[in-house]
């Protein structure tokens, strides 16, 4: 069986102070995007997790393994499988790749056990705070630590964006630690983003990411990367997804793929490490 693990982008990200739990309060809209990891599940005598992508944790360190164990403990017995992930989502990119893989395994486990749709998300934050979103797979406002979800209308389905990653990862916990040093709470404009989505448009003024300055502190090259993107694609603005290091850009008519493919080719010609034109919205889960 083949599972597809779909990435996300953050449409705005507000960050609040660190709580006694060690986590920060957040408020964001997470939207699925058609960039996917491919996970092959095969019957096996022993539970295994492999990847052909350098740097991907294997064995018990992989979130897919944690998801499998969590589902077996909380939902019921599962067949023993080998899980092999072929990565398309960059590592440490702010696109949720590891959590997306875990979410795909949880959706498979839910259906494997014969439960009806949609999959339950309660408790899956024990694997990762954004895992509930990836189990759901639907656009949502994510609050508290990112695990409390409120559905958002899927009115941006088919909008084209261009994703650009500089080729190096940023560790989420390191960026949040830097936010503690440099961050300041901004005006929370997530409600503006949601109102725009309800109208079928993106409220660009609400797409600020409070982690961006912290990400610049962690790796100053990221600021130069953003400046280069804005210079090459002027006058299109760039927005950081999650804790970075991926930026996303939209043309003046997001429903038209022509600009997205033009921008993709332009950035590839300038040597950007990873670039992809992709559509917002939900894709298929498995085949």
Residue 96 annotated as binding site: yes
Other Cβ atoms within 10 Å of 46 Cβ, number: 7
User: Using CA atoms, how far apart are residues 16 and 11, in angstroms rounded to an integer?
Assistant: 17
With vertex at residue 77, the alpha carbon angle to CA 73 and CA 82, rounded to the nearest 5 degrees, is: 95
Residue 93 assigned to a binding site: yes
130 counts as catalytic: yes
Beta sheet of 160-165, edge-to-edge order? 239-240, 247-249, 160-165, 274-279
Is residue 90 part of an annotated ligand binding site?
yes
Q: Which residues of 190-219 are buried (b: 16+ CB within 10 A; e: fewer)?
A: bebbbebbeeeebbeebbbbbbbbbbbbbb
What is the rounded distance in angstroms from the CA atom of residue 121 to the CA atom of residue 279? 25
Annotated binding residue 200: no
**Is 163 marked as a binding-site residue?**
no
Is 99 flagged in the annotation as binding? yes
Residue 109 assigned ligand-binding role? no
Residue 149, annotated ligand binder?
no
Cα 235 to Cα 122, 160, 165: the distances in Å are 42, 17, 19
Annotated catalytic residue within 8, 36, 87, 213: 8
Active site residue 87: no
27, 37, 101, 130: the catalytic one is: 130
94 is in an annotated binding site: yes
Which candidate, 164, 184, 171, places its Cα nearest to that of 218? 171
Q: Is 240 annotated as a binding residue?
A: no
What span, in angstroms and rounded, lies between the C-alpha atoms of 202 and 115? 36
Residues flagged as binding site: 90-100
Give the residue ranges of the annotated binding site for ATP: 90-100
Q: Active-site positions?
A: 8, 130
């Amino acid at each position: 069986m083949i599972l597809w693990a779909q990435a996300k982008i953050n449409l705005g990200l507000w960050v609040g102070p660190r709580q006694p739990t060690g986590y920060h309060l957040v408020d964001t809209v997470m939207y699925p995007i058609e960039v996917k990891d491919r996970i092959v599940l095969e019957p096996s005598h022993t539970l295994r997790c492999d990847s052909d992508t350098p740097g991907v944790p294997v064995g018990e360190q992989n979130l897919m393994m944690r998801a499998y164990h969590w589902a077996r403990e909380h939902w019921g017995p599962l067949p023993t499988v080998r899980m092999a992930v072929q990565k398309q989502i960059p590592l440490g990119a702010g696109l949720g790749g590891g959590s997306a893989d875990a979410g795909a395994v949880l959706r498979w486990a839910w259906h494997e056990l014969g439960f009806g749709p949609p999959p339950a998300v309660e408790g899956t934050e024990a694997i990762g705070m954004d895992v509930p979103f990836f189990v759901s797979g639907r656009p949502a406002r994510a609050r508290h630590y990112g695990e409390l979800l409120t559905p958002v209308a899927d009115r941006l389905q088919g909008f084209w964006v261009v994703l650009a990653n500089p080729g190096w990862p940023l560790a989420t916990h390191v960026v949040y630690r830097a936010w503690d040093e440099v961050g300041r709470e901004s005006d929370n404009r997530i409600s503006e983003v949601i109102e725009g989505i309800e109208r079928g448009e993106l409220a660009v003024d609400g797409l600020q990411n409070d982690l961006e300055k912290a990400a610049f502190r962690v790796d100053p090259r990221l600021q130069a990367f953003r400046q280069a993107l804005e210079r090459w694609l002027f006058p299109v603005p760039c927005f950081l997804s999650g804790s970075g290091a991926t930026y996303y850009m939209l043309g003046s008519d997001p429903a038209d793929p022509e600009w997205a493919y033009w921008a993709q080719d332009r950035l590839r010609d300038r040597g950007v490490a990873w670039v992809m034109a992709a559509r917002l919205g939900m894709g298929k889960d498995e085949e």
